[in-house]
Amino acid sequence: MKRVLVLNGPNLRRLGTREPDVYGSSTFDDLVALCRETGRRLNLHVEVRQTDDEAEMIRWVHEAADERLPIVINPAAFTHYSYGLRDALAQRTAPLIEVHISNPAAREEFRHTSVVAGVATGTIAGFGMLSYVLALQAMADLLAQEETTPS
C-alpha cells in the first residue's frame, strides 16, 4: 500500500465553522475520514495533516521529498504568497497534486494566483470535499502509471 501525504494549510482545521457558505458544513474530522476511506478504496495509505505554521508545512514537504512520498496539498492561504513553500515543493520526488475546496479563480482577485501550481503535477479545485476524492483518484492513477512505465 503506497503512502500518500494529504497536507492542509492555515484555517482548514476550522472547516464546518469557517465560512460555511464557501467551504460547506463538513468538518476537518469529516475530511480526514473521507480521505482515509478514499485511500483504503484506492489501496493508498493516506496520512492527513493540517498546520497553520508555514515552517512546519515546509518541513513536511522536505520529509516527503526525502522519502519520495506523493503529496496532495491544500496550501490554503500559502497558495498565494509562500515562495518558501513553492521552493520546497519544487524539490518533490513524487507526484504532487494541488487541491482546493472552493474555486480560487471565482473568488477575490488576490486568490487568482497560485505560486504552487507551477510546480504541481496538476490542480483540482472547486468541487468541495469531492476535490480531495478526485485528487486521490488522480494520484492513484499516476502511481499506477509509474509502476508500469519502464525506468
**What CATH number is attached to the domain comprising 30?**
3.40.50.9100
45 noted as active-site residue: no
Report the Cα–Cα distance between both ends of the chain, in Å, rounded: 21
Assigned C-alpha cell, 61: 514537504
pTM of this prediction?
A: 0.91
The residues facing 3 across adjacent strands are: 45
- Catalytic residue, chosen from 23, 45, 81, 83, is 23
Q: Is 80 annotated as a binding residue?
A: yes
100 noted as active-site residue: yes
Residue 116 pLDDT exceeds 90: yes
Q: Is 114 annotated as a binding residue?
A: no
Q: What is the pLDDT of residue 16?
A: 79
Q: Is 112 annotated as a binding residue?
A: no
Q: Is 102 annotated as a binding residue?
A: yes
Residue 21 pLDDT exceeds 70: no
Give the domain range for residue 16.
2-148
pLDDT in tens, 62-73: 999 999 999 999
- Catalytic residue, chosen from 45, 62, 83, 100, is 100
Structurally, the chain folds into a number of domains equal to 1
Q: What is the pLDDT of residue 111?
A: 67
Q: What percent of the chain has pLDDT over 90?
A: 74
**What band does 105 get if pLDDT is binned at 50, 70 and 90?**
low
pLDDT in tens, 91-104: 999 999 999 998 77
User: What CA–CA distance (Å, rounded) separates 94 from 96?
Assistant: 7
User: What CA–CA distance (Å, rounded) separates 52 from 33?
Assistant: 20
